[in-house]
Copies of this chain bind each other. A is one copy, B any other.
Amino acid sequence: MRITALAGGVGGARFLRGLLHHLAGWPDGPHSLTVIGNTGDDITLFGLRVCPDLDTLLYTFGGGIHESQGWGRADETFAVQGELAAYGVGPQWFGLGDRDFGTHIARSQWLGQGMTLSEVTRRLAGRWGLPAGGVTLLPMTDTPVETHVVVDDGDGERAIHFQQWWVQHQAALPAKRFVVAGLNKAVAAPGVLDAIRTADLVVLPPSNPVVSIGIILSVPGVRDALRGTQAPVVGVSPLVGGAPVRGHADACLSAIGVPVTPDGVAGLYADFLDGWLVDKADEAAMAGAQIAVRAIPLLMTDVNAAAEMASEAIELGLSLRA
């Protein structure tokens, strides 16, 4: 079975690690998973290119993630950032550990040598054991793009980098809309559209529907590929009881005028979504929906819980196959 997933950072990584855990015991293998990662969160810090979502996916798949935090490296130290602070070099609000710096230095050097982000990501992935188990991580595009947030805190509108809004301001500055700088020149990275078109199943993990999956959907061709694929497209709601499990999906949805409900989120995918996995607490809110809905507990308390969710998503998808 060839599964293709669109993913942001922490939520997507945890769900997909569970999916891989589940697939390992699934019959009729080998199976493959192609993950299309959001690169709108990417940012250049200290002259180095940082790709937070791609790194969270790699660290999580490869066993290097800081487990309780969900992002960054386990057993991390912060000597480099301490030195940068001593030299008066900012920003300091984006915490980069020493091990993490190693990734960004390697990536930046390779990009500087002319490699594409796809090539760089494949190289980085090798260290984390991919493509063992048939796992491939693709950036959504090789074109440098950056999600900017138009905010208005009383002095008129201004655009700030997504990470500044998300990390420095904890999504507390009133957002008016999201703009992806560079998107007008972006094309889907090699393999992205084919992975959607030729999949047996497409999965949308419980990633942020606006600033993670929504950004991937904005890459030219991605939405058309999802509409046109023969594969069932199954999504997992990022909400539990009408609120995000973690992150600031509520602020993001409100900013674009979408209700913070599983129905509201599903509406963002209405043109291609076939099945929708929601939390038991949100089952009633989906009554009367036009798509196949399954309600289960959606808390990824550990790998086994995530694997159970993934199992339900796969079963829902297979039940929808023509």
Contacts and interface: CB of A to CB of B under 8 A. Distances in A.
Interface of A: 46-48, 76-77, 79-84, 86-89, 97-99, 101-103, 105-106, 108-109, 112, 123-124, 126-127
Task: Report copies per complex.
Answer: 2
A109 B77 contact: no
A123 B79 contact: no
A108 B88 CA distance: 14
B101 A101 contact: yes
A76 B89 CA distance: 20
A88 B127 contact: yes
B77 A124 contact: no
Given A82-B99, A83-B99, 15 more contacts: A46-B105, A46-B106, A77-B77, A77-B79, A77-B98, A79-B98, A79-B101, A79-B102, A80-B98, A80-B101, A80-B102, A82-B102, A83-B102, A87-B103, A88-B126
19 contacts: A47-B108, A47-B109, A79-B79, A79-B102, A80-B98, A80-B102, A80-B105, A82-B102, A83-B99, A83-B103, A84-B102, A84-B105, A86-B102, A87-B102, A88-B126, A88-B127, A89-B106, A98-B98, A105-B105
A115 to B, nearest CB: 12
Nearest to A123: B87
A101 B87 CA distance: 12
Nearest to A83: B102
Nearest to A48: B105
A86 B102 CA distance: 9
Contact of A109 (B81, B89, B105): B89
B79 A106 contact: no
A99 B80 contact: yes
A81 B89 CA distance: 21
Contacts of A82: 99, 102
